[in-house]
Amino acid sequence: MTFIYQITLLILPLWYTVFTTPSGDEWSLVRENETLEVYKRTNSDGYKDIRIEAIFHCSIDDLVKSLDQVDQYPQWVYKCTGAEKIGSTASGHLLRYWMVSDFPFPFKDRELVVVSSAYIDTDGIYHSNSHAEKVQLRDLDNILVDKFDSSWVVTDLKDGRIYIEYEVSARPGGLIPSWLYNMAVDHGPFKTMESLQQLLEEST
């Protein structure tokens, strides 16, 4: 299973507002530990979408700061080998960035450009939403991921913890069949969220 796990499209860049995608399935729990729960469902294209619910011991500000430090993504985003902020607004509510994911031979690496928007509502809940742009900025030998949507809703639990709801829907591009992708699609987001949690909780 190690090889199959490696072909997971790391999935994580970031930003939230609950979004929905057409689906033939309900969410089903597939992986969990003491603070993370990972759910899958099949979308209308036959690929698996992912939902993660998590509790971190940190503040919303700490999380947002890490999400904004795009050049640090290789430290905690699963299989991310490079990331770069392309631009953002002065308020920080809109962010555009590039990233690349390592895929094992014989598959080519995956590259994507993401646009994210974020805001905090009147109840203090952080929302962010991201989508991929259909543009390739770096290595033309990479496979472009042009179908990527993610959303976050982050609530302050008022006791030094935050509650995270994260959803992601992506297609790996290229010739990877959906059944192979679906076997491992939860691994990347789970490892990414674990690494982010460790990073944040060690720094607080």
| Total tally of structural domains belonging to the chain | 1
Using the predicted structure, report yes or no on whether residue 8 has a pLDDT greater than 60. no
Q: Tens digit of pLDDT for each residue in 147-165?
A: 999 999 999 999 999 999 9
Using the predicted structure, report yes or no on whether residue 99 has a pLDDT greater than 60. yes
Its domain, for residue 109, covers 2-183+191-203
Return the CA Rg of the chain: 16
Residue 48: the pLDDT is: 93
Average pLDDT, the chain: 85
pTM of the model: 0.83
Max distance between CA atoms of the chain, in angstroms, equals: 49
Which tokens belong to 42?
Answer: 């099949």
Q: Tens digit of pLDDT for each residue in 128-140?
A: 999 999 988 777 8
Residue 51 makes CB contacts below 8 A (sequence gap 6+) with 27, 38, 39, 40, 41, 165, 166, 167
Decide: 69 and 77 in contact? Cβ < 8 Å.
no
User: CA 178 to CA 193: how far, in whole Å?
Assistant: 23
Residue 24: the pLDDT is: 53
DSSP for 100-130, written as a single string = EE---TTSPPEEEEEEEEEEE-TTS-EEEEE
User: CA 7 to CA 78: how far, in whole Å?
Assistant: 11
Strands 162-170 and 148-156: antiparallel
Residue 174's CATH number: 3.30.530.20
More confident residue, 2 or 60: 60
Q: Tens digit of pLDDT for each residue in 110-132?
A: 999 999 999 999 999 999 999 99
